[in-house]
Structure 1
Amino acid sequence: MKKNDLRIIKTKKAIYQALTHLLKDKLLTDINVTELCREASINRGTFYFHYEEVGDVFKEFFEEVIRDLEESYKEPYKHISALQLETLVFKNLDPKTVRIFHHVKKYEDFYRIILSDNVSTTYYYMFFDAIRSNFIEDSKIGKYDESKKYVYSYMTNAIIGLIIEWHRNDFKESVDDMNIHLVETLNVITRS
């Protein structure tokens, strides 16, 4: 079967949604294959055709979310040349081009889970590393400076901090408002 097979896509989407639903009330380690299959309305054979264990589902879904996050992060820079990107100042960043918060809203249930108090910090660090790697990748267009690794970590935590605060406010602010908050935050950080 092909990776783009509609049946596979639908099955995996059902499994991801089932896992997300179960994670609202249980830890990942407490979810077994039988209850995941029941929640996804699939049989165990279908599950084992795609995965070995429940943790594999979470890992694959997390990777999908991170790929979408990376694409969302890069969206404002798609039409900027390498030279322009090297000299980009965040105050020139148009909040309407920011896509990170669209991404978070798209995967809101997932973020509610990984930002909850009962989830391992492992997922926070995976999330942190994914965002930070984008800052480092962008810096390689110019000259990567190892001494800026703390700046990249600081900027990463600024973005995650905004997402956490949005989560604490039950995602009530609009995506557009969050885009403006991000651009304002980045401008404050880069003034120094």
Structure 2
Amino acid sequence: MNKNDLRIVKTKINIHQALLNLLKNKSLSQIKVTELCKEASINRGTFYFHYEEIGDVFKELFEKIMLDLKDSYNEPYRHITVLDIEKLDPKTVGIFHHVKKHEQFYRIVLSREVSTTYYYMLFDEIRSNFMSDKNTQVRGDINGYFYSYTANAFIGLIIEWYRRDFKESVDEMNVQLLNIVNLKI
């Protein structure tokens, strides 16, 4: 099976979208293969050709979105080696573009109605991004706490944006982030 085959790519995108649609009203454990297939307009054979269970679809979708998050996080570093926050152009911040692009996913993950498992999965991924960032390396016993604090601070910004129904533009959120990081509040 060629994972770059356009038919496979389109089928998986369709299945991912169907899962997101169903997750608006149900938890992952409540979704059955039959209803996912109906929502995606595919047959069960197609589903089982690509996946063993619904959880595999969510895992694949989550990994895809987190890969995009990592790329977005690294965007300001593409043309520099050391990041100077005070000189950072808000237009180069890519994380809020990522959140907006995957708004439907974030609305589900940040909803009060879903399991905190999703939150912790997101938290772990963001924390991991901060840990791999050469510009945020810290020493000693504080490092685990520092990365957890930073990840939660960033998620806090996304949650507040979500609570405001994503009304601020991506550019406004980039400026907000840089103002907070540079203590211009």
Q: What range is the shorter-chain TM-score in?
A: over 0.9
Aligned-residue identity in percent: 65
Pair 1:46 & 2:46 matched: yes
2:139 aligns to what?
Answer: 145
* Partner Cα separation in structure 2 for residue 143 and residue 161 of structure 1: 21
**Range that drifts further, 178-187 or 144-153:** 144-153
1:3 aligns to what?
Answer: 3
Task: Map residues 27-66 of structure 1 onto 2, 5 A cutoff.
Answer: 27-66=27-66
1:107 aligns to what?
Answer: 102
> Do the aligned residues in 1 keep the contact of 2:85 with 2:178 (CA within 8 Å)?
yes
Shift of 1:131: 1.1
Question: Once the two structures are superposed, what CA deviation does each residue of 1:28-60 show, in whole Å capped at 9, x if it has no partner?
Answer: 111000000000000000000000111110011
2:88 aligns to what?
Answer: 93
Tell me which of the two structures has the higher relative contact order, counting C-alpha pairs closer than 8 angstroms and 6 or more residues apart: 1
Computed over aligned residues only, the root mean square deviation of the Cα atoms, in angstroms, reads 1.6
One of 164, 168, 182 as aligned partner of 2:163: 168
Shift of 1:142: 8.3
> Do the aligned residues in 1 keep the contact of 2:123 with 2:151 (CA within 8 Å)?
yes
Gaps of 5+ in 1: none
One of 183, 188, 192 as aligned partner of 2:178: 183
> Do the aligned residues in 2 keep the contact of 1:113 with 1:119 (CA within 8 Å)?
yes
Q: Which amino acid aligns with 1:149?
A: G
Question: Once the two structures are superposed, what CA deviation does each residue of 1:93-112 show, in whole Å capped at 9, x if it has no partner?
Answer: 21110000100111000100
Q: Which amino acid aligns with 2:175?
A: I
Shift of 1:143: 6.0
* Partner Cα separation in structure 2 for residue 158 and residue 183 of structure 1: 13
SS of the residue 1:109 aligns to: helix
Shift of 1:166: 0.5
* Partner Cα separation in structure 2 for residue 90 and residue 52 of structure 1: 45
Specify whether residues 96 and 31 from structure 1 end up closer, same or farther in structure 2 by C-alpha distance, changes over 3 A only: same
* Partner Cα separation in structure 2 for residue 36 and residue 12 of structure 1: 12
- Using structure 1 for the length normalisation, give the TM-score: 0.90
Moved over 3 A (4+): 141-144
